Amino acid sequence: MKKFILFCLFIGVTTCFLFAQATPDYTRIDNQIIVQLKPGISPEKIINNHPNLHLRHLKTLGHTHHIHLFESNTAAENLSKILRKEKNIIAVQSNYRVKFYGEPNDSLFDEQWNMDMIRMPQVWEHGTGGLTTNGDTIVVAIVDSGFNIDHPDLSPNVWHNYAEIPNNGIDDDQNGYIDDITGWNFRENSPIHGLSKHGHSVASLAGAKGDNEIGISGVNQTIKLLLLDITEIDEIIAAYEYLYDLRDKYNKTNGQEGAFIVANNASWGIENAFCSQLPVLASMYDRLGEVGILSIAAPSNNEHNVDILGDIPAACLSPYIISVLNTDRLNRKVYNSSYGKKSIDIGVPGDEVPSLALNGYRIFSGNSAAAPQLTGAVGLLYSYACTKIIDKTKSSPGETALLLKEIILTSAFKIPALQSYCSSGGRLNMQNCFQSLEEACNSTSGTLEILSIFPNPTRFETKIIYQSPNFEEYQVVVFNSLGQKVKSKTTTPFLFGQKHFTINTSTFPPGVYEIAILQGKKVTTDKLVVVR
């Protein structure tokens, strides 16, 4: 107790009070447990190994990673403790019902002020999305509460699974879902989507049909929206497996099967909780990222520091998550938006923005409104990427996804008022993103050659820019005027952007040196002068 009091005095009474008093704002579904099994282990084996638990297998959430939902007459908390000791189980967690963030509170504005804030009109001059330079149909997933796919301002952009024959009652593509033509309703285990104003508005901000003389435009006017209905964590995991399988298949078949899904929107979450509490869900974000899917996350609409109090998935540590906070017309954090210098990445305007209603249009506010604009933006950037980048989306999907994330965050419009609230210290700026993407496309490839050394002469450090024919590891060696090796290191060329490395010369005596970059029989050299 003394340690806790001293801790409070150290960081401040108010912060500590919040930390001590915060309780998770979510509903655990008692008697249910989500389990990831080791390969080759069946649910029946787990049931047989624990007859006293009276386990019942409810459903398989994903065949690829062997994830299952069980029910028992034992409380979930006790069930977890017992099953974590089972050698055939990789991870165990409870099941929860999530909370959807950001309900609207007003009528429709005549103008989409948010699009001007993030510089969309300037970027749309270069194209409005839809396809990559290689002709891939770009898809973003909206994992949410329900949708009206017949809305005239949304229906043209709804993704269709052409590997499935409509209404024949057969799983034509053998993915475990019958007639999943426009995604899947995991709430009802049905191909028919439920109707929900939250999910519908979220989808519209990412990709309502643009330039069609009606309603509004999403950030990505011609994207394909893969719609998945969820309410509980088990359904979300099953939805993520669905997305993983489609993108993984697309990568492995060079685009002949599956879907080119590049982003996944999560405008929902669990407040005051950390991903370490839900290891199965947490692991899904890395898996999605590794096949090329970034996850865009909205934290809760409460003025919480999620670095301290937690928020799932916004505060999860996966490098493939981009978490947003809600900004207003004056580039300020909206008062009730959660924040976190470590966990939250960037601001996006989501305070009273026009969106689709189930039948018509409405004003939508909150982090739920901010996140899907970034989700649509990810899809749009893939349509602008040059062939050199798109060619890597199947062979190096995770690395390509991280490049897009880096471009988005480093291109943010820096705002002093956001510096203490998010890691980028800024707000989404699509015009800057487009320019940064062009720079990445203009990186150097060709025969091995040193292009520049700067500064040269140098005192303490110099930067070497080079081009290379491949992206494998190279050896860097520095020789003095007598031909003696004074330094060696390795460098691996960046997949995209400028290829460079630095050399610290602070311990070098003044003189003329030779820098050599080599790989097998390939070698390039140049002179470096060190002065004092």
Q: What is the pLDDT of residues 343-373, one digit of tens each?
A: 999 999 999 999 999 998 999 999 999 999 9
Q: For residue 523, is pLDDT > 70?
A: yes
- Specify the pLDDT at position 26: 53
Q: Give the confidence band of 125 by pLDDT, cuts at 50, 70, 90.
A: confident
pLDDT tier, 446 (very low <50, low <70, confident <90, very high otherwise): confident
At residue 16, the pLDDT reads 37
Confidence of residue 19 (pLDDT cuts 50, 70, 90): very low
Is it the case that residue 15 has pLDDT exceeding 60?
Answer: no
Q: Provide the pLDDT for residue 492.
A: 86
Question: DSSP letter at 329?
Answer: T
Q: Does 105 have pLDDT greater than 80?
A: no
pLDDT-based confidence at 236, cuts 50/70/90? very high
Q: Provide the residue type at 191 as one letter.
A: P
pTM, to two decimals: 0.79
Residue 194 has pLDDT above 70, yes or no: yes
Q: Collect all residues with Cβ–Cβ distance below 8 Å to 77 and sequence separation of at least 6.
A: 94
With pLDDT > 70 as the criterion, what percentage of the chain qualifies?
92
**Which is higher by pLDDT, 493 or 482?**
482
Q: Which of 117-121, 390-394, 469-473 has the lowest mean pLDDT?
A: 469-473
User: Which residues make Cβ contacts (< 8 Å) with residue 45, sequence separation at least 6?
Assistant: 88
* pLDDT value for 185: 98
Give the residue-averaged pLDDT of 431-437.
91
Mean pLDDT of the chain: 89
Higher-confidence position of 60 and 444? 60
Poorest-pLDDT segment among 315-324, 326-335, 417-426, 446-455 = 446-455
Mean pLDDT of all residues in 67-71: 95
Q: Which residue has the tokens 């994903």?
A: 62
Contact 392, 493 (CB under 8 A): no
pLDDT at 321: 98
Task: Identify the pLDDT of residue 432.
Answer: 93
Say if residue 476's pLDDT is above 90: yes
For residue 5, pLDDT over 60 is answered with no
Of 9-13, 413-417, 438-442, the one with minimum mean pLDDT is 9-13
**pLDDT at 300 > cutoff 90:** yes
Rounded distance, CA 159 to CA 224, Å? 5
CB under 8 Å to 320, separation ≥6 — which residues? 285, 286, 288, 289, 290, 293, 294, 295, 398, 401, 402, 405
* Residue 411 confidence (pLDDT) above 80: yes
Structural contact between residues 374 and 297, judged by C-beta atoms closer than 8 angstroms: no
Domains and CATH numbers, the chain: 23-97 (3.30.70.330), 99-441 (3.40.50.200), 449-530 (2.60.40.2550)
Could you give the count of Cα atoms lying within 13 Å of 50 in the half-sphere of its Cβ?
25
Tell me the mean pLDDT in the region 419-440.
92
Read off the pLDDT of each residue in 127-146 and give the average, rounded to a whole number: 94
- Which of 31-45, 77-91, 301-315 is predicted least confidently? 77-91
Predicted pLDDT of residue 528: 95
- d(CA 129, CA 136) in angstroms, rounded, equals 11
The model's confidence at residue 443, banded by pLDDT at 50, 70 and 90, is low
Determine the angle formed by the axes of helices 430-441 and 397-410, rounding to 10 degrees: 130
